[in-house]
Structure 1
Amino acid sequence: MSSRTPEPTPAGPTTARVNDRELRADARRNRERVLRTAQQLFTSEGLGISLDEIARRAGVGPGTVHRHFPTKEALYLAVAIDQIRQLVAEGEALTATGDPAALFTLLSRMMASGAENAAVKSALTAAEFDLRDAAPDAAADLTHQVALLLDRACRAGVVRHDVTVGEVMAIVAGAFAAIRHADADTSRERSAHIAQIILDGLRPRPR
């Protein structure tokens, strides 16, 4: 019987693929953790917080943040796009409920998200970033979800029939400006109140 220690078996293609998938999944989770942490910190502490501090709060190394987001502007843009994608997911969930008034829920969430991320959007505007150009697919997906909910709301008679999805999206964009003009973007209660006033204009007019 041989006393030689067996040499380790080289990792085959299947093992390499599994490890690669695990690494990609881990990188994805780290990126999402950084995005969520950055969004919360930008809202609560402002845009001055450093990338290294965001890394510390997210529980990842500074290199992880700098690798995914080499500049502050890149992180701002990623946070804003991530918020759009979260809204798309919320729209899909609301579409599945069958609730004819779900349009108002999604629009309220969109307005709240805009108020929460007002500083980030201002920074992107200052850097001459347009989200519709930077993330056309995400923007189109969100518009599509709004269109589906608007169509259902119109058929159910809970929204006036003379409004288009383009007008609804413009109303949401205008709501961001109204909330900021009223200095209400740091107050969920006040921003929600202004949003409700604006959304009431979409309801059917009394006959």
Structure 2
Amino acid sequence: MTREPTGDRTLRADARRNRDRVLRTAQQVFAAEGLGISLDEIARRAGVGPGTVHRHFPTKEALYLAVSIDQIKRLVTQAEALAKTNDPEALFTLLSLMMASGAENATVKSALAATEFDLRIAAPDVAADLTRHVAGLLDRAHTVGAVRADLSVGEVMALVAGAFAAIRHAGAETSPDRSAHISQLILDGLRPR
């Protein structure tokens, strides 16, 4: 006979689900409406009490950081799936996903930059994991000749960061078509001549 978990396990699972719900809601609200939404309003939209949000995220900056880290973790999961394929275009797929995620979360990333948060410092393991996956896919792309031979992982990561700035400069954060076009222009520059 299997028993349902009780006590702390249930609370931890519930707390994890509530935290995930708050993160998803916050990401959507910040992307659609900006950063002016209060933590209490995010709680209401997530269907949890204000205390739940404040317990997990005592400040808006903590929530911004958590949203950004969560996005990177999701990109790592997608990178892991792409690494298991034999697709020579997997690097371009991942970079497109990274640029779209960055465009969608440009407001949050700007807020973090303004408070001098650096994700590479705040979440070094997650950031390094994503870079490691980009490096692996870049190596595969080099092997099959899908990218320029002189391209390094550091340059790829710099170009992704530059794409965020280009999308923001063009005011294309809220236009998936325009941000995808800008991203594609950058990605085309990675291909062999």
Instruction: Check whether TM > 0.5.
Output: yes
Residue of structure 2 in register with 1:163 after alignment: 151
1:22 matched to 2:25? The reply is no
Give 3-state SS (helix, strand or coil) of 1:149's partner. Answer: helix
Q: Which residue of 1 aligns with 2:84?
A: 96
TM-superposed CA distance for 1:19, in Å, is: 2.1
1:109 counterpart residue number: 97
What is the one-letter code of the residue matched to 1:38? A
Query: Structure 1 vs Structure 2: percent identity of aligned residues?
Result: 78
Amino acid in the other structure paired with 2:138: L
Task: Name the count of aligned residue pairs.
Answer: 191
Q: Mind listing any 5+ residue stretches in structure 2 that lack a counterpart? A: none
Matched AA of 1:191: S
Structure 1: distance between partners of 2:79 and 2:111: 26
Structure 1 counterpart of 2:116, which letter?
E
Residue 179 (structure 1) aligns with: 167
TM-score by length of 2: 0.96
Are residues 1:141 and 2:136 paired?
A: no
Shift of 1:185: 1.2
The code of the aligned residue for 2:104 comes to: E
- Find the partner of 1:118 among 106, 120, 135: 106
Q: Give secondary structure in 2 for the equivalent of 1:183.
A: coil
**Could you say what secondary structure the match of 1:111 adopts?**
helix
CA deviation string 1:157-178 (max 9, x = no partner):
1111110101100010011111
**Secondary structure of 2:7 counterpart:** helix
Unaligned stretches of 5+ in structure 1? 1-14
Secondary structure of residue in 2 paired with 1:97? coil
CA distance in 2, matches of 1:123, 1:150: 30
Which residue does 1:39 correspond to in 2?
27
Matching of residue 196 in structure 1 with residue 184 in structure 2: yes
Q: Once the 2 structures are TM-superposed, how far is the Cα of residue 116 of structure 1 from its aligned partner?
A: 0.7
TM-score by length of 1: 0.90
Distance 2:173 2:33 in 1: 14
> 19-28 or 57-66: which moved more?
19-28
Q: C-alpha separation between the residues in 1 aligned to 2:126 and 2:6?
A: 30
Moved over 6 A (4+): none
How far is 1:75 from its partner? Answer: 0.3
- The Cα of 1:18 is off from its aligned counterpart by 4.1
Q: For 2:137, what is the secondary structure of its paired residue?
A: helix
Tell me the equivalent position of 1:8. none
RMSD, matched Cα: 1.3
Q: Distance in 1 between matches of 2:116 and 2:37?
A: 21
